[in-house]
Amino acid sequence: MKSSLHEFLAPDSIAILGASSDPTKRGYKAMVGLINDGYEGAIYPINPKVDTILGYKAYPSMESLPGPAALVLICTPAKTIPDLLGQCGRNGTKGAIILASGFGEVDEAGAKLGQEVLEAAQKANVRIVGPNTSGVFNLHKKVNLLALDNVKPGDIGIISQSGNMLLALALEAESNGHVGFSTYVGPGNQIDLGFADYLQYLGEDDNTRVATLYVEGFKDGRVFLNVAKEIAKTKPVVVYKSGSTEAGQKAAKSHTGALAGSYVMTVDLLRQVGVTVVSQSDEILPVAEGLSLLQQANGNRVAILADGGGQATIASDRLCEAGLELAELSDATQSALRGILFPQASLVNPVDVAGSTDANPGLLVDCMTVLVEDANVDMVLLVGMFGGYGIRFAEELKAEELRTADAIAKLSGQTDKPLVVYSLYSHVRPEPLVRLRESGVPVYNSIEHAVQVLKALNERGAYIASNQRAELAQPLSPDAGVVATFEQAQRSGRDLFEFEAKSLLRTYGVDVPKELMVRNEAEFLEAVAEFGHTSLAMKVVSKDILHKSDAGGVKLNLSGEADLRRGHAEILAACKLYKADAEIEGILLAPMARKGTEVIIGVSRDPVFGPVLMFGLGGIFVEVLEDVAFRAIPLSRDDAHAMVNQIKARKILDGVRGEPAVSKDALVELLLKVSSIVDAHAEILELDLNPVIAYHDGYAVVDARVIVCQETPL
């Protein structure tokens, strides 16, 4: 079943509350937009002071309409809106677009008014777009409430928290002449409907092939992730998320009052659900366009076909920077190319035709055909002068270029390998390039943009393949003992002790080295007997001492009874000095961990995105270099693998300076296990395994901390 938004985002009738005959007013422009574009449904201007507007009969109120308006555009000031929504409800309107600002984005009083609007809307059974929205269009329905000129209907849907961003994309589309749009929504303050709802709508909309979002902040991050995950299975979702720096976050807040969240985390979570994240604003339209035409690639190996060395070199650099590979061309391919091109052509990827095509551009498609047939090639990038041979070399070549364009388009239709073109002449929009683009082969005027498209095609292919084998971390049934431990902690309003946290982990099968809790002389002697002369670490256990090392509550490398007895006494003395009234639960004894690679696993509950897992290497890698990976819980096995391989310091996991590689498989199992545990226990507010020592044959959790959610009823 389709979402209810279709009723009013593809509306059969539209009322304009605050319609006006004043050409500077939005209530006039919106009507002009509808009329000029030939909107086929009923248009109802609402204005009690006049009889007609632009030749349409004006009504004094929503109640006086001859029938229900599927959608109402409200152009009146903020304070009028709660009352007007009552009228809308009585009319039977399904959705209202509220343009007015002056709500939560301004001050507390505005936020309160926003709450009143929401309550009135709920009472009236009307859904709200906005307030403080730039508006909506649905070009396939000829609904253009923004009165934007020169926008073509097409297959790119836009949801943008900035109206000017839409305008920028529309002007860019106008200038390249290719791209058209389906539906646009400005979510504004999202007091009712938000990004998730609009994305759901675009996902279901047959006229939209790619959903493209400009986001300053999500309000409903977890719901958005769930929707995006479903949509991305079949339709590309492109997101530009602003706020990559603190300055940008502050700027975004002053703009729409949205909660910006951590940029790096948000990007990781979006990618996890198959969203294509673009990081430069001038890449939004090129990437959306590429994905609307080509959808996906089944690998990252690119063949470059070039008629100029400079561009071939630049494209090679950009490809590799983007994590793509230059395909290694097979002998058969090279030999076939040798048969087509001049002897001086370079047949190793990037293929440089070295003048072979100057008088004969048709050879380009012959080469592309050979490249597409190579099993080592996943995508083909044509870079250079194609489209401009007739301009640069000889007028007569124009006809051959047109034939070549048709042949390239035909080849593109016959293969599932993406063909992408960068041409120096695309600024000029010569006929062969227009022909190519109209046949579904994207053409770019920047090598950088073309490569970003290839990258997006590859990421999307990888996501779809990974999604097909998606295997989420296994759900766990909560263990009764663990539940009891949480109950006990919650009753005393404390977090878990380290030994409790570790015991929890052990219960669910996490490798935590054996430790003994020493609370009295008998337990002390048992521990001495148990560990013999093993080298041990000794740590204080007290709910009153959080930073054990600072308190002198940790001693390392102790062995034998005398050592241990002295260490025990010293720790107690130091902790007493540190905090005289600290309640000491006991002392934890554990074998010193073998040397290995320190990693950190942390879980927190993000106010926007819910439970999120973080992975990184220990020490400076997290604290100084901020080299970490995030995923929303629950993780799939592919997510866990991707996290481990995403961090810049992954080379260290692979073994450097003579150290063996650590077992990434063991880390993956641990990540999945932690995901399952947190999923099963809402009592866990935060969890920190720091450090975990990773080895070539496994890992050891050396320290564990669990912050207990004190509000969760059990």
Burial group, residue 283, by CB count within 10 angstroms (0-12, 13-18, 19+): buried
> Residue 78 is encoded by which pair of tokens?
């903020």
The residues with which 183 forms a beta bridge, in sequence order, are 138
Cβ count within 10 A of residue 708:
23
**Looking at 118-126, 165-173, 367-375, 497-505, which segment touches a copy of itself (CB under 8 A)?**
165-173
**Is 492 an interacting residue with respect to a copy of itself (CB under 8 A)?**
no
Q: Does 125 bind a copy of itself (CB under 8 A)?
A: no
> Which two three-digit tokens encode residue 501?
């946290």
321 binds a copy of itself (CB under 8 A): yes
Least distance to a copy of itself, CB of residue 551, Å: 15
Does 239 participate in binding a copy of itself (rule CB under 8 A)?
no
Neighbours of 325 (CB within 10 A): 15
Residue 703 CA to residue 556 CA, distance in Å, equals 14
Residue 425, interface with a copy of itself (CB under 8 A)?
yes
Tell me how far, at minimum, the Cβ of 191 lies from a copy of itself, in Å. Answer: 18
Residue among 172, 373, 606, 688 that touches a copy of itself (CB under 8 A)? 172
Buried b (16+ CB within 10 A) or exposed e, 460-471: bbbbbebeeeee
- Is residue 24 a contact point for a copy of itself (CB under 8 A)? yes
R_g of the chain, CA atoms, integer Å: 31
Q: Which residues contact 182 (CB under 8 A, 6 or more apart)?
A: 138, 139, 140, 153, 154, 155, 156, 157, 202, 205, 207, 208
Residues 626-665 interacting with a copy of itself (rule: CB under 8 A): 648-649, 651-652, 656-657
Nearer of residues 216 and 498 to a copy of itself, judged by Cβ: 216
Per the listing, tokens 């055909």 go with: 369
The DSSP bridge pattern shows strands 237-241 and 276-278 to be: parallel
Which among 69-77, 392-400, 481-489, 514-522 is the span making contact with a copy of itself, rule CB under 8 A? 392-400
Question: Nearest approach, Cβ of 581 to a copy of itself (angstroms)?
Answer: 26
Q: Which stretch binds a copy of itself (CB under 8 A): 77-85, 446-454, 601-609, 697-705?
A: 446-454
Between the CA of residue 641 and those of 145, 466, 665, 666, 691, what are the distances in Å? 46, 11, 8, 10, 19
Residue 314 binds a copy of itself (CB under 8 A): yes
CA 293 – CA 114 distance, rounded (Å): 41
CB-CB contact of 423 with 433 (8 Å)? yes
Residue 96 Cβ vs a copy of itself, minimum distance, rounded to whole Å:
22
Stretch that binds a copy of itself, among 135-143, 205-213, 444-452, 470-478 (CB under 8 A): 444-452
x-marked contacts with a copy of itself along 46-85 as a string, rule CB under 8 A: ----------------------------------------
Q: Pick from 167, 264, 582, 666: which binds a copy of itself (CB under 8 A)?
A: 167
User: Near a copy of itself by CB under 8 A, which window of 420-428, 483-491, 571-579, 679-687?
Assistant: 420-428
86 contributes a contact to a copy of itself by CB under 8 A: no
Closer of 193 and 447 to a copy of itself (Cβ): 447
Q: If binding is defined by CB under 8 A, does position 246 make contact with a copy of itself?
A: yes
Nearer to a copy of itself, 255 or 664 (CB): 255
Residue 368, C-beta contacts closer than 8 angstroms, at least 6 positions apart:
305, 380, 382, 408, 411, 419
Instruction: Please report the DSSP string for 325-382 in residue order.
Output: EE----HHHHHHHHHHS-TTSB-SSSEE-TTTTTT-TTHHHHHHHHHHH-TT-SEEEE
Is position 160 an interface residue for a copy of itself (rule: CB under 8 A)? yes
Q: 177 to 216, contacts with a copy of itself by CB under 8 A?
A: 214, 216
User: Could you tell me the smallest distance in angstroms from the CB atom of residue 129 to a copy of itself?
Assistant: 18
Task: Please pick, from the candidates 319, 341, 593, 692, the single residue that binds a copy of itself as defined by CB under 8 A.
Answer: 319
Asked if 308 is part of the footprint of a copy of itself (rule: CB under 8 A), the reply reads yes
CA distance 418 to 412: 7
Is there binding between residue 352 and a copy of itself (CB under 8 A)?
A: yes
**Would you count residue 244 as binding a copy of itself (CB under 8 A)?**
yes
Distance between CA atoms of 686 and 678, rounded to whole angstroms? 9
